[in-house]
Amino acid sequence: MKIKRATTEDSQEIFHLTQDTIRAIYKNVYKQYQIDFFSDIHSKEAIEKDIAEGIVYILLCDNIILATATLAENHIMRVFVEKSHIGRGYGSKIMDFVEREVARNYDEIVLESSLVAEQFYIRRGYINVSRDFLEINDGRILEYNTMKKFLTVGRK
């Protein structure tokens, strides 16, 4: 198992992993229009843009992408684990990696969490800063959390 920066060749696999996980896991918490919104913001174009900026990481096992995370300064985004591998520690492994990267230069981490992932982040020491509501279309609302983790290690 290894973690590395994603390349443009990885974009299709990251896109499918993200979309498949959203469609499989979010259906237990969100309505279809909210799931569609998540799918749209995690588009192939958005993933390719972030890869071009060098901020997407992937966790590989036997050359198969099992998890991904995007990291812009101290802001973690788009953390997804391949749907059939959820609960096996891959999310924790990629989070350990990006948290260490953040700790090099920052004292805190910020992320927006879906309601699906909230407990995962709480178990990792994140706190809810706010419960946020976004109007996504025709007055329909998407609920999510802004979360922070304060790093005790600080700058190294």
Does any domain span residue 26? yes
Does any domain span residue 64? yes
Task: Please say if the pLDDT value at position 152 is more than 80.
Answer: no
Does any domain span residue 123? no
Does any domain span residue 60? yes
Which CATH number does the domain housing residue 79 bear?
3.40.630.30
Does any domain span residue 11? yes
> Which secondary structure element, helix H or strand E, spans residue 137, and what is its range?
strand 127-137
Q: Total domain count for the chain?
A: 1
Range name among 36-40, 92-96, 136-140 with the lowest pLDDT average:
136-140
Does any domain span residue 148? no
Does any domain span residue 130? no
| pTM, to two decimals | 0.91
Q: How confident is the model at residue 22 (pLDDT cuts 50, 70, 90)?
A: very high
Does any domain span residue 98? yes
pLDDT for residue 130: 92
Residue 44 domain boundaries: 2-106
Name the DSSP letter for residue 108: E
Longest dimension (CA), the chain: 47
pLDDT for residue 153: 53
Condensed to tens digits (0 to 9), the pLDDT of residues 120-135 reads: 999 999 999 999 899 8
Condensed to tens digits (0 to 9), the pLDDT of residues 29-54 reads: 999 999 999 999 999 999 999 999 99
